[in-house]
Amino acid sequence: MSASLHATGKGMNLTLHVWRQAGPGAAGRIVDYAAPDISPDMSFLEMLDVVNERLIAQGEEPIAFDHDCREGICGSCGLMINGSAHGPMKLTTACQLHMRSFKDGDDIWIEPWRAKAFPVIKDLVVDRGAFDRIIQAGGYISAPTGTPQDANALPIPKADADLAMDNAACIGCGACVAACPNASASLFTAAKITHLGSLPQGQPERDRRALAMVAQMDEEGFGGCTLHGECQEACPKGISIDAIMQMNRDFVRASATAVQAKEWSGAA
């Protein structure tokens, strides 16, 4: 094939220490790989592609990792890189991280997200189905397809719309869980609660949503939130921990209303 454009002498020589695990129940271990002649212009995942191509050539199974858009928006990729979720660069997913963040001779440890609720499937691939189930519990507005009122019949203050958008930007990657010492999914759950709760359309189901989503989060085996703030540091989309405060307020209010409702109906 054509001469390598990146073999310009700029190539770095790296040593990777990668978590390899054959399957869901299998025992995993760290395996070391030399990664010579890595161009600083490669993305982190392109570096893994190159390593994988070489592994295949040697008859060794390539390293499995999730990815799709490679633009920081689909939320598929997720790696612990030297102990930080998505690696050293702030507000950057692993797929957008470039190798110029590393230097010649570096050792790089690459591991999957670690959390009880995200079991490892293979190598660096984990099961994040719990996130979908949290959304199923109430992360939506019930507006069946039909002919709703004209969109502009409901003006929404720009500040509210902006707050909703800030939180709706979550890509569901799971870095917040991976970074949290308790493996809590609070930032993810709170982002959705705040997105929908900031909008007038989201009010009718607001109480139910907070109760159901929080309950599901617990059921999935995520840990509790003790406000360490690691999640917000790791989040590639800049979701603020303020969302968690909002979620807690919504939850408390909804619980109180639920108790009251029970008392009034004589069920207590």
Note whether 85 and 171 are within 8 A (CB).
no
The single-letter code of the amino acid at 208 is: R
Contact between 122 and ligand SF4 by CB under 6 A: the answer reads: no
Tell me: does residue 146 bind other proteins (CB under 8 A): yes
- Given candidates 108, 210, 239, 254, which one binds ligand SF4 under the rule CB under 6 A? 239
Query: Can you tell me which of 77, 108, 120, 171 binds ligand SF4, judged by CB under 6 A?
Result: 171
Which residues of this protein are in contact with ligand FES, per CB under 6 A? 67-70, 72-77, 93, 95
Interacting span for other proteins (CB under 8 A) from 28-36, 64-72, 104-112, 225-233: 64-72
What is the spatial distance between Cα 208 and Cα 17, in angstroms, rounded to a whole number? Answer: 45
Q: Which does 149 bind (CB under 5 to 8 A by kind): ligand SF4, ligand FES, other proteins, none?
A: other proteins
Find the helix or strand (DSSP H, E) in which 121 lies.
strand 120-122
42 contacts other proteins (rule: CB under 8 A):
yes
Question: Are 163 and 174 spatial neighbours (Cβ–Cβ below 8 Å)?
Answer: no
Residue with Cβ nearer other proteins (18 or 230) = 18
Nearest to 138 by CA among 84, 199, 214: 214
| Beta carbons within 8 Å of 101's beta carbon, 6+ residues apart | 87, 88, 89
Amino acid, single-letter form, for residue 168: A
Nearer to ligand SF4, 110 or 176 (CB): 176
To the nearest whole angstrom, how small is the minimum distance from the Cβ of residue 97 to ligand FES?
A: 9
Size of interface with other proteins, in residues (CB under 8 A): 82
Least CB distance from residue 128 to ligand SF4, whole Å? Answer: 9
Helix axes 242-264, 186-197, angle to 10 degrees: 70
